[in-house]
Amino acid sequence: MNPTLEIFSQGEEVVTGQTVDTNAAWLSTQAVNMGFTVTRHTAVGDKLDDLVALLREISVRADCCICTGGLGPTSDDLTAEAVGKAFDLPLEFDAVAFEQIQRFFTLRNREMPTSNRKQALFPKGAERIDNAWGTAPGFSLQAGRCWFAFVPGVPSEMRHLFKESIQARLASRFSLQPDILVTLKTVGIGESAIQERIRTVEIPTPVQLGFRAGPDEVQTKLLFPHDYPEADMTALVESVSEKLGDTVFAVDGLGQAGGDLVAVVDRLMHAGQHSLAVVETASQGLLAAKCIGLPWLLESRYRQAVVTTGQVGDLPVAAQAIAVKMRNSSGADWVLIQLYEGDQQAFHDKNQAIVLYNGLLTEDGFYQNTRSVAGPINVKQNQAALLALDLLRRHLQHKEL
Amino acid sequence: MNPTLEIFSQGEEVVTGQTVDTNAAWLSTQAVNMGFTVTRHTAVGDKLDDLVALLREISVRADCCICTGGLGPTSDDLTAEAVGKAFDLPLEFDAVAFEQIQRFFTLRNREMPTSNRKQALFPKGAERIDNAWGTAPGFSLQAGRCWFAFVPGVPSEMRHLFKESIQARLASRFSLQPDILVTLKTVGIGESAIQERIRTVEIPTPVQLGFRAGPDEVQTKLLFPHDYPEADMTALVESVSEKLGDTVFAVDGLGQAGGDLVAVVDRLMHAGQHSLAVVETASQGLLAAKCIGLPWLLESRYRQAVVTTGQVGDLPVAAQAIAVKMRNSSGADWVLIQLYEGDQQAFHDKNQAIVLYNGLLTEDGFYQNTRSVAGPINVKQNQAALLALDLLRRHLQHKEL
């Protein structure tokens, strides 16, 4: 039997629906991957009695609980107080935490408001979880049957703290036999098209097949029991991968270097010591923004006037001319250029499609792809950034082979 | 006292994190707007005992509960069975529901699988909720203190059923008096600094003060009882707004045009018929990306080489020269330029700060602001985009006054 785990989210913004609780789903995925059985998610607002009641319930029901939110400096942040009241523990001042909070402000040349002192108060017996990502440290403690970890509700801070502190504590406290999850990551192909392609691959009964479509990639997931023979696992992943062809940009879970599309492109650009300049239209800066801080991206340019309403057939000539000019002015080895067919109205209208055209100028030649995308303007924008990056990825992986 | 309402989501896909539970947030928003106090969200998997226990808990705790999921035809869809078991009600066959389910298949020229018959079984005493959008009808019933409504988990079906059937039933069953929410939106000031600034404003007891810090704005929220005198409400919002000064970029809930920072800038740029070109460094395309499809943004340029490691004191001269050049080449009326002090290492290191410098060149002159930002690189990137946009917003609002 796997140990059970619950997720507890605190905050009026969650319970009143102003915030979609993405933390709960993210934490559940992590917990399931580690070998927990997640039994319940609960969200309550910033009301002391509700918090106390819920903490007590969970302490007799679950083996483990991850709690998000309520660690801020303001009067509606009640977690430490609620834990103290629920389990009859006095709050104690933690000098190290206080120093960390002060340092956060000093670093930003700001004076620490007195209200932040509260964030250094923890229930007696709690273990501090340092937070290098924000002002609120977390804490963990055992209460009844349940080991609780309390972390901030800000998703980025929560994720960092989970990865850097909580994961290791969970692994050492619980006896976990996680299933093995292998994820094939693709871009430029939909979930149903993937299903169609792999229909003929036989999936043995103990293996669970699943799909997840996100804005930046579609994931095909194979979940293997922890004692599944490794050779059989590799063979099955290989069969699925073959059917998906070069739409697969990374495979996570087999010890290969995974990550998202940007991470894959970054590794390949770095390895090949290439540099790049980008001309953006439909992605309007988003391609460059996704590559934040990567040293091989020398320049990016968006110009509204570059948007063409011509036919896709005319685009390659125009694109090459702009790319050559951009190479000369930027000093980059390669230029990635993106144009599209379709007017501004089609771009804005979620019910109309535009045809994206991407070109990549390298020392060897000029490579291109086209693709029709539809949906709201920000979906088109994101797809445009991804498809341009994917042209670069395909070219780099092909060279590597 | 408002009646209390809970949201209950059923499904392994929710509790294991494969699906983010957007239904809970959507339903909560609807319920709060109608005048309910939402007290709890709970999600559990498809396990009969868990469902039964949770239904019983809620029936003594809340006045109302909206439940999603578990109404499908497969063996893991257990809602009706769980309700029957929890409240000791036999399941009864509903001939009208059965006919509706059959019609769904006939209409699509498909044969109805026998498993779908199950969807026409409801606990004795339940009222059917017709579903013209899918195969699963919902149902409602009173159990203990609580009035329950059960609807499918598919978001589109759930939303239709709520709007078309449940909303009217709630309005007739409960005496509802919705509160009034006013939100002051700020950028460039932290949550604790806001609290510090408004400390001297007296908030009358029936008004609830709350805060919410997101990546793009900090919200200061004032929740007024439905019968709060309008003049007093306006006066209180005015006092808070005064303390926050020009960090407030919008006020939602008083009938003024609200929205996010980009929406505010867009309205002002449009009204003034200005056009803009942007030079980005730390935001690396994100400023342009946030303004996707807005016609007044003519050009955006990111160049790695523009990043300066000089002192902030040197930046204005460099910035003005670049801005003038950009204005000439882009044809835009105004140029927004962003530089920063601090090397690449400081930019990448979450424990180091960089000093952002923004300049705005208009026909009247050159305006500027500087600000220190710290944190992970993508936080710095986002803050850089926001602070540059905010310089533009302040200038536009100032001109407007």
Instruction: Please list every residue in chain A whose beta carbon sits closer than 8 Å to the beta carbon of residue B192.
Output: 73-74, 113, 115-116, 135
Q: Does the pLDDT value for residue A287 go beyond 70?
A: yes
The pLDDT assigned to B398 comes to 83
Of A46, A212, A381, the CB nearest to B18: A212
Do the chains contact at A17 and B29, CB–CB below 8 Å?
Answer: yes
Instruction: Please list every residue in chain A whose beta carbon sits closer than 8 Å to the beta carbon of residue B212.
Output: 13, 18-19
Q: CB pairs below 8 Å between A and B: how many?
A: 229
Q: How many Å lie between the alpha carbon of B299 and the closest alpha carbon of chain A?
A: 4
Q: How many Å lie between the alpha carbon of A177 and the closest alpha carbon of chain B?
A: 16
Residue B49: CB partners within 8 Å, gap ≥ 6? none
Condensed to tens digits (0 to 9), the pLDDT of residues A325-366 reads: 999 999 999 999 999 887 888 899 888 889 999 999 999 999
Which residues face A334 on adjacent strands? A276
Indicate if B327 and B366 belong to the same structural domain.
yes
Average pLDDT over residues A259-272: 95
Q: In a mutagenesis test of the A interface, which of B181, B211, B335 is the best target, namely the one with the most A β-carbons within 10 Å?
A: B211
Indicate if A115 and A199 belong to the same structural domain.
no
Instruction: Please list every residue in chain B whose beta carbon sits closer than 8 Å to the beta carbon of residue A41.
Output: 9, 14-15, 21, 41-43
- Give the residue ranges of chain B where pLDDT is below 70: 306-313, 399-401
Any idea what the CATH number is for the domain that residue B220 is in? 3.30.70.2860
Of B17, B44, B376, the CB nearest to A25: B17
B263 touches chain A (CB under 8 A): no
Of A115, A280, A291, the CB nearest to B195: A115
Do the chains contact at A50 and B44, CB–CB below 8 Å?
Answer: no
The pLDDT assigned to B116 comes to 84
Residue ending a domain, choose from A200, A230, A257: A257
Indicate if B220 and B275 belong to the same structural domain.
no
Q: How many Å lie between the alpha carbon of A302 and the closest alpha carbon of chain B?
A: 5
CA distance A9 to A158: 12
- For chain A, give the percent of residues with pLDDT over 90: 64
B22 touches chain A (CB under 8 A): yes
**Cα–Cα distances in angstroms (integers) from residue B86 to residues A224, B83, B237, in the given order:** 36, 5, 47
Any idea what the CATH number is for the domain that residue A159 is in? 3.40.980.10
Indicate if B78 and B126 belong to the same structural domain.
yes
B343 touches chain A (CB under 8 A): no
Indicate if B19 and B136 belong to the same structural domain.
yes
Indicate if B157 and B8 belong to the same structural domain.
yes
Instruction: Please list every residue in chain B whose beta carbon sits closer than 8 Å to the beta carbon of residue A107.
Output: 351-353, 374
Do the chains contact at A107 and B18, CB–CB below 8 Å?
Answer: no
**Cα–Cα distances in angstroms (integers) from residue B343 to residues A353, B280, B305, B347, B350, in the given order:** 42, 16, 12, 6, 13
The pLDDT assigned to B18 comes to 82
Residue A88: CB partners within 8 Å, gap ≥ 6? none
Condensed to tens digits (0 to 9), the pLDDT of residues A73-93 reads: 877 889 999 999 999 999 999
The pLDDT assigned to B147 comes to 98
Residue A341 one-letter amino acid:
E
* b/e burial code for range A383-393 (CB count within 10 A of at least 16 → b): bbbbbbbbbbb
The pLDDT assigned to B112 comes to 82
Neighbouring CB atoms inside 10 A of A217's CB total 18
- What 3-state DSSP class applies to A288? helix
Instruction: Please list every residue in chain B whose beta carbon sits closer than 8 Å to the beta carbon of residue A288.
Output: 284-285, 302
Residue A278 one-letter amino acid:
V
Roughly how many angstroms between the first and final C-alpha of chain A, as a whole number? 44
The pLDDT assigned to B400 comes to 58
- The owner of tokens 């953006």 is A280
Indicate if A13 and A147 belong to the same structural domain.
yes
A111 touches chain B (CB under 8 A): no
Domain of B226, in residue numbers: 180-259
Instruction: Please list every residue in chain A whose beta carbon sits closer than 8 Å to the beta carbon of residue B26.
Output: 17
Instruction: Identify the closest residue of chain A to B23 by CA–CA distance.
Output: A20
- State the pairing for strand pair A37-44/A4-10: parallel
> To the nearest 10°, the Cα dihedral for A261, A265, A267, A273?
-170
Residue ending a domain, choose from A242, A257, A272: A257
CA distance A275 to B212: 41
Indicate if B117 and B185 belong to the same structural domain.
no
Any idea what the CATH number is for the domain that residue B340 is in? 3.90.950.20
Instruction: Please list every residue in chain A whose beta carbon sits closer than 8 Å to the beta carbon of residue B39.
Output: 15, 44-45, 47, 50
Neighbouring CB atoms inside 10 A of B112's CB total 17
> To the nearest 10°, the Cα dihedral for A48, A51, A53, A56?
-130
Please state the domain count of chain A. 3
Q: How many Å lie between the alpha carbon of B122 and the closest alpha carbon of chain A?
A: 25
Do the chains contact at B300 and A287, CB–CB below 8 Å?
Answer: no
Indicate if A148 and A276 belong to the same structural domain.
no
Residue ending a domain, choose from A157, A173, A189: A173
Q: In a mutagenesis test of the A interface, which of B199, B221, B304 is the best target, namely the one with the most A β-carbons within 10 Å?
A: B304
* b/e burial code for range A12-47 (CB count within 10 A of at least 16 → b): bbbbbbbbbbbbbbbbbbbbbbbbbbbbbbbbbbbb
Residue A349: CB partners within 8 Å, gap ≥ 6? none
Give the ipTM.
0.75
Instruction: Identify the closest residue of chain B to A329 by CA–CA distance.
Output: B303
Do the chains contact at B195 and A76, CB–CB below 8 Å?
Answer: no
Indicate if B141 and B240 belong to the same structural domain.
no
Q: In a mutagenesis test of the B interface, which of A4, A38, A52 is the best target, namely the one with the most B β-carbons within 10 Å?
A: A38
Q: How many Å lie between the alpha carbon of A222 and the closest alpha carbon of chain B?
A: 13
Roughly how many angstroms between the first and final C-alpha of chain B, as a whole number? 42
Cα–Cα nearest to A81, from A119, A37, A24, A29: A119
Cα–Cα nearest to B76, from B99, B108, B51, B109: B51
Instruction: Identify the closest residue of chain A to B46 by CA–CA distance.
Output: A39
B383 touches chain A (CB under 8 A): no
Average pLDDT over residues A56-66: 97
Indicate if A250 and A296 belong to the same structural domain.
no
Q: Does the pLDDT value for residue A108 go beyond 70?
A: yes
Residue A161: CB partners within 8 Å, gap ≥ 6? A129, A131, A133, A138, A151, A152
Q: In a mutagenesis test of the B interface, which of A30, A51, A74 is the best target, namely the one with the most B β-carbons within 10 Å?
A: A74
Q: Calculate Rg over the CA atoms of chain B.
A: 27
Instruction: Please list every residue in chain B whose beta carbon sits closer than 8 Å to the beta carbon of residue A32.
Output: 16-17
Interface of B with A in 48-87 (CB under 8 A): 50
Average pLDDT over residues A185-190: 89
The pLDDT assigned to B312 comes to 60
Per the model's pLDDT, the better-predicted residue between B34 and A135 turns out to be B34
A195 touches chain B (CB under 8 A): no
CA angle B183, B32, A159 (to 5 degrees): 70
Cα–Cα nearest to A296, from A268, A320, A322, A323: A268
Contact (Cβ atoms closer than 8 angstroms) between residue B354 and residue B372: yes
Do the chains contact at B21 and A25, CB–CB below 8 Å?
Answer: yes
Q: Does the pLDDT value for residue A165 go beyond 90?
A: yes
Contact (Cβ atoms closer than 8 angstroms) between residue A315 and residue A357: yes
Instruction: Identify the closest residue of chain A to B19 by CA–CA distance.
Output: A25
Interface of B with A in 294-313 (CB under 8 A): 295, 297-305
The pLDDT assigned to B80 comes to 94
Q: How many Å lie between the alpha carbon of A211 and the closest alpha carbon of chain B?
A: 9
- Averaged pLDDT score across all residues of chain A: 91
Instruction: Identify the closest residue of chain A to B381 by CA–CA distance.
Output: A292
CA distance A381 to A74: 38
CA distance A107 to A111: 10
Cα–Cα nearest to A78, from A136, A124, A39: A136
Indicate if A184 and A128 belong to the same structural domain.
no
